[in-house]
Homo-oligomer: A and B are copies of this chain.
Amino acid sequence: MKKHLVEPGKKIKLSERDPQDIGDFKGGKEEGLKAISKLNEKLQELQELLYAEGRHKVLVVLQAMDTGGKDGAIRRVFDGVNPQGVKVASFKVPTGEELAHDFLWRIHKQTPASGEIVIFNRSHYEDVLVVRVHGYVDKNVWSKRYEQINAFERILAENGTTILKFFLHISKDEQKERLQARLDDPTKHWKFSLGDLDERKLWGDYQAAYEDVLNKTSSTHAPWYIVPANRKWYRDLVISKILVETLENLNMKYPEPKDDLSGIVIE
């Protein structure tokens, strides 16, 4: 999975990353789904251990172009994981109160507590993506945000938060197919707005903005992964595997009982 990592300090080009890639995975969709299912079992165990130990905080950031598969990935990867220990924070258009604070204020409120996994469905990165592409703030404002984000994430990491960031990378053709599928299915029409097509016209601007994000904010304490996401099963496999390996590397242990339980009789 190392090949999907954006190595801190190195410059990547999105155009050189193939959204159709399946890395060095031996097998197709069927084998992929089996592997995801095994990883899911491990994830369920690791989440329980994380919660029991109550020492680490885990933050998973998901970003993608429209139809990139954030919702689907959350459902598949976290299927069956105890909902008490996993929270999803979705960041919509900021409210008046949120806009009256710095852009990280509403983000900080949603960061994980000890023992928790929090998934950001969109995140503070929108403040250097949609905000930049549409010019909602001046360049001298958004251009300072990369370093502010790095500083913010360093604070979280130094205070016990394990951060993983995934960019779900789809091709422009794949987006077309997915939008068309929504259009062809009347039960999906409520999800569709003409604004989605306006955003699609800005594809190039968004790719450039993402490239800057990936190059400026991938750090050892909060790495970015570019997840080839044209194939949904491979997307879910990559996220599952990186998440499970990261949790395994925390070397967590079940805590000692609070009290001496020897010789206890329940009446």
Contacts and interface: CB of A to CB of B under 8 A. Distances in A.
A190 B51 CA distance: 11
A255 B190 contact: yes
Interface string A226-267: 000000000000000000000000000011111101001011
A79 B80 contact: yes
A74 interface: yes
Contact of A193 (B78, B90, B189, B258): B258
Nearest to A90: B84
A95 to B, nearest CB: 12
A87 interface: yes
A192 B261 contact: yes
21 contacts: A71-B84, A74-B83, A74-B84, A75-B82, A75-B83, A79-B80, A83-B86, A83-B119, A84-B90, A87-B87, A176-B266, A183-B264, A189-B257, A192-B258, A192-B261, A193-B257, A193-B259, A194-B259, A194-B264, A197-B264, A197-B267
